[in-house]
């Protein structure tokens, strides 16, 4: 069982996080609390959305455990079976592993899906716009921010954390 701390955000912290979230995700959310464990931050919003954050970089992406938020993302890439293992271990998504993609801009949040069942395996930030992917033969295309089996994913699977989050968003 991971050790974690719940901390309510101050008005200033909530305002700063809301600005970064709005800029990155293009939607207005109201952060209220942070669940922190060993440097992994999960932001809980008043709307019930769970975000994995790197607060020092102002980087927030939807948690894989929050299926509704993942489905709202416009951009996606589908990777072949050979890339799944590397992505789930935290590697950036490289162009040769991408077999399908939607329309997205550089610096946009995208979901990474595996080819067989189209399930999300990671959420990242696009390093290049989708229109440039066709011309690319190699190189990184998506920076992996949150993936299956990372610290945030493990933290969100903990029953105590789930119980605490469900109490927060009631």
What confidence tens digit (pLDDT) does each residue in 34-68 have? 999 988 899 999 999 999 988 778 899 999 999 99
Q: How far apart are CA 141 and CA 91, in angstroms?
A: 11
Collapse the DSSP code of 65 into the 3-class scheme (helix H, G, I; strand E, B; otherwise coil) and give the result: coil
Percent of the chain at pLDDT > 90 equals 89
Q: How far apart are CA 11 and CA 51, in angstroms?
A: 18
* Structure tokens, 136: 């690319």
Average pLDDT, the chain: 95
* pLDDT value of position 1: 61
* Structure tokens, 75: 């951009």
39 CB-contact burial (10 Å; exposed 0-12 / middle 13-18 / buried 19+)? exposed
Structural domains of the chain, with CATH? 5-64+150-168 (3.10.450), 69-147 (2.30.130.10)
Which pTM was predicted? 0.94
Tell me the C-alpha to C-alpha distance, in Å, between residue 56 and each of 38, 40, 59. Answer: 14, 11, 8
* pLDDT value of position 56: 79
Collapse the DSSP code of 156 into the 3-class scheme (helix H, G, I; strand E, B; otherwise coil) and give the result: helix
What confidence tens digit (pLDDT) does each residue in 79-128 have? 999 999 999 999 999 999 999 999 999 999 999 999 999 999 999 999 99
């Amino acid at each position: 069982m991971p050790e974690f701390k719940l901390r309510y955000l101050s008005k200033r912290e909530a305002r700063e996080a809301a600005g970064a979230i709005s800029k990155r995700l293009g939607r207005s959310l109201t952060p209220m609390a942070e669940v922190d464990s060993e440097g992994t931050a999960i932001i809980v919003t008043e709307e019930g959305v769970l975000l994995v954050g790197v607060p020092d970089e102002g980087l927030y992406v939807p948690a894989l455990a929050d299926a509704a938020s993942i489905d709202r993302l416009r951009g996606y890439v589908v990777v072949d079976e050979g890339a799944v293992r590397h992505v789930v271990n935290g590697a950036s998504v490289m162009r040769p592993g991408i077999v399908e993609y939607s329309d997205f801009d550089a610096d946009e949040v995208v979901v990474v899906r595996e080819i067989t069942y189209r399930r999300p395996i990671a959420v990242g930030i696009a390093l290049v716009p989708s229109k440039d992917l066709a011309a690319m033969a190699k190189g990184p295309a998506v920076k992996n921010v949150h993936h299956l089996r990372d610290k945030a994913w493990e933290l969100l699977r903990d029953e105590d954390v789930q119980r605490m989050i469900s109490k927060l968003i009631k």
